[in-house]
Amino acid sequence: MKVNIYYGGRGLIEDPTLYVINKLTEVLNEIRVEVVRYNLYEEKNAITMLPKTLKEADGVILATTVEWLGIGGLMQQFLDACWLYADKEHISKLYMLPVVMANTYGEREAELFLIKAWETLGGITCNGLHAYVEDHVDFETNSAYTQIIEKQAELFYKTINQKTKMLPSSNNAIHKNLLKSNSLDLTPQESEQLSMYVSDDTYVKKQKEDIEELAQIFKGMLGDSSSNETNQEYISNLKENFYPVSDFNGSFTISFTDTNKTLAIEINGNNLRCFYGDKKDPDVIAKTSKDIMNKIISGRMTLQRAFMTGELTAKGDFKILRMFDQLFQFSTF
């Protein structure tokens, strides 16, 4: 027979939970039970791999200490990992003994939480050990307390050995009928393999990098699609409302302060070319917002007026700047 102990405390010398699990181990070893202890504070980076160790056990002891509230983060992580990666069919055959010692209020609630969690996982729970310990020395030297712990170890052994039947629990019913894991539908072997990957920091980091790279690729693909539409903004309006002036040659760039995009306009007689991007040495360099450009395109404001009111700034050849409103005559929508 083999029993695994999962200790969720911090490993402090004065932790009474350590005394209890040491005493349980001592008694179980005397009756030839193999006991393996996993200190979760030493397994922080491999907690997701611990559920696979349940397959080697006939029974488990979940031991934790209430120092201020609840079962503590390490034990919670272990239970989360059991929900995600453990072989639920094997858990349904495992007896669990909860051990909760507290130097503050809440040992009963913490024990109840462990029981509910284990039953929700589908496992079998036994009557546990819980106590409020004000002075760990007094607790450890009390022979009556020691006797209670030893009897509990013997009872736990008999329960596992005889495969004692337990009355049905509503937590088990919830597990079977209502709760569904959001994880992928994986076999126990696949779940174990996934738990190993999750615990591997290098693997996880690489996966995050790969996901980020894919996100950028898809973002770029979507961006190309959306940018095709964006890059046509204003261009069709300019072409539709272009009134060429014979022998006029000039170029404009209009930078939009709220989108960091630049619209380039090149005019060579009757030929008009518009595009988004940089243009070398334009005759007029203008800056404005898309809101002002929308007013110009809709005919509610001329470019010259926007320049005069300061809503558009420009530098370069101002004779060519004044030609803009003659070259592009927008009608009010």
The per-residue pLDDT for 183 is 47
Q: Which amino acid is at 196?
A: M
- Convert the pLDDT of each residue in 60-69 to its tens digit: 999 999 999 9
For residue 172, the number of C-alpha atoms closer than 13 Å in the C-beta half-sphere is 12
Whole-angstrom Cα distance, residue 151 to residue 146?
9
pLDDT of residue 193: 67
pLDDT at 212 (0 to 100): 74
pLDDT in tens, 66-88: 999 999 999 999 999 999 999 99
* Stated pTM of the model: 0.61
Q: What is the mean pLDDT of each run of 10 residues along the chain (333 residues)?
A: 97 96 97 97 92 95 96 96 93 97 95 96 95 95 97 97 90 64 59 65 68 69 51 85 92 92 93 92 94 92 92 93 93 66
Nearest to 92, CA basis, from 154, 182, 3, 175: 175
User: 87, 330, 273: which is closest to 191 by C-alpha?
Assistant: 87
Q: What are phi and psi of 29, to 5 degrees?
A: -65, -35
Identify the bridge partners of residue 286 per DSSP, sorted by sequence position.
254, 314
pLDDT of res. 225: 46
Domains detected in the chain = 2-199 (3.40.50.360), 235-327 (3.30.1050.10)
In sequence order, what are the residues at sequence separation of 6 or more whose Cβ sits closer than 8 angstroms to the Cβ of residue 88? 121, 122
pLDDT given for residue 322 in this prediction: 92
